[in-house]
Amino acid sequence: MARRSFDDETLAWVREMPLSQVLDKLRDDGQLFWRRDLDFVPENDQRTVRLFLSSPSGFAWEVLVTGLKWFDVRAGKGGGGGIDLVMHLLGIDFVKAVKLLSAGAGVAGQRRPVRPQ
């Protein structure tokens, strides 16, 4: 039987994490900077926002976000959720992405996303 690295609660929590919180975590860790394009007007879904991201090493991304879905305009790639986004941006695997996003979970003051009932 394969050994699981993460319990179901941790995986559910990380998968439900709002992408703004994911990006804030990466910013707080010094891994990237991001800002919202306040002039962007979505064509289809009015919830869509455009974000400009950059890394300290000079990489840059233009990402469209609608809920938990994201699309990297320059790379022509998209996905769903913070795990996929972190894997894409940092070039790391699933386990490293989950560890990065779940680091600090359970620390007082850490905001966990509200699970739908």
User: Mapped to the 3 state alphabet, what secondary structure does 23-42 carry?
Assistant: HHHHHHCCCCEEEECCCCCC
Return the structure tokens found at 19: 């992408």
**Would you state the pLDDT for residue 64?**
98
What's the residue count for the chain?
117
**Would you state the pLDDT for residue 105?**
60
Buried b (16+ CB within 10 A) or exposed e, 16-28: bbebeebbebbee
Question: Whole-model pTM?
Answer: 0.83
Q: Nearest CA to 23 among 67, 77, 86?
A: 86
**Would you state the pLDDT for residue 3?**
62
Q: Give per-10-residue mean pLDDT for the chain (117 aa).
A: 76 93 95 96 96 95 97 97 96 95 60 42
Residue with tokens 């455009």: 50
**Would you state the pLDDT for residue 100?**
94
**Would you state the pLDDT for residue 5?**
77
